[in-house]
Amino acid sequence: MRDILRFEPLYQERVWGGRALETALGRKLPDAKGPIGESWEIVDRPEAQSVVRDGPLKGETLRDVIQQSCADIMGPKWDVAKPFPILVKWLDCRERLSLQVHPPAEVAGELKGEPKTENWYIAHTAADARLIVGLKKGVTRQQFEKAIADNTLENCVHSFRVAAGDSILVHSGQIHAIDAGNLILEIQQNSDTTYRVYDWGRVGLDGKPRQMHVEQSLKSIDWDDFEPAPVRGAPTSGVIADCREFRIRRVVLGQGERYTVASGEQPRLLSVVSGTVRAGTDNGSASRAPFGQVLERGENVLLPYAGSFAFVAESTAILLVTENFA
């Protein structure tokens, strides 16, 4: 299997969501009773499976594809029983998300959860929208616990403004929340463990207060994590996130410029966060694309280990390339 793999999105209702995936990315969202907060773009979990959108493997799940063509997709050293290690989501945050934390690896087992390090890329944002990541300098666990009781937690956490093109790596153990008005591409470890410590007095879609996980949160928070800085948007290519779990490179292409991927190196994910590119095999020409593929803003695809590819920008385009996860 040496073709680009595109998948059907899995839309999730969330109390804090909206319809920006429709208005900003041109998606056709399903009719739903509640707001759509997340689109799971690439996922390999027992409760959620990406399904191939087109091509010879149309209708196959990501798990089936890996089991059938493991060496081609992931490389000859990949354990076929191991889940795909990255989960890619679009987040439409019309309202502020809960203040939450994901457990670091050293406590996740004790709490029967999964660690989750994630990167947020800001694709669009409302004026004065913010992110919350980390503690304010000097805040202690004792002060934090008192603020929970006093409903003053906002005074303990680090908040900063963001603009389109900014990004930040959020490690397991970092307290965080996304403010209202952000459209974000989240690239994360394959995990779905979230501990909410505070929800701003909000109720869920059922009209009841959402479940909190205060004890688990207090065990998970990194109490030495103060005021991390985002990576600000720039019109140049470069690494925007590099951690044990993955690396993300921003690739900026002018009209007609090419980005190529050689076969036999590693599997990669490619996300189009701005502009449009044409996809072809890396044979010196991108005039012919497999399945006539044009990748538009918002698309996320898997580039198999065995494939070689070329992407040519139809206008100025920004790609995120996720690698070093295998």
Helix (H) or strand (E) holding 218: helix 214-220
Is 258 strand, coil or helix?
strand
- Left (φ > 0), alpha (ψ -120 to 50) or beta: where does 280 sit? beta
Q: How many helices (H) and strands (E) does the chain have?
A: 6, 23
Q: What are the b/e assignments for 284-323, b being 16+ CB within 10 Å?
A: eebeebbeebebebbbbbbbbbbbbbbbbbeeebbbbbbb
Nearest to 273 by CA among 256, 254, 252: 252
> CA 25 to CA 273: how far, in whole Å?
10
- Which residue is listed with tokens 């005039």? 287
> CA 270 to CA 101: how far, in whole Å?
27
Nearest to 136 by CA among 216, 228, 232: 228
Residue 79's CB: how many other CB atoms inside 10 A? 8
Residue 196 is a catalytic residue: yes
- Which residue is listed with tokens 């799940």? 61
> CA 188 to CA 170: how far, in whole Å?
9
> CA 173 to CA 191: how far, in whole Å?
14
Phi, psi of 176 (to 5 degrees): -160, 165
> CA 52 to CA 231: how far, in whole Å?
33
Among the listed residues 6, 14, 96, 196, the single catalytic one is: 196
Active-site positions read 196
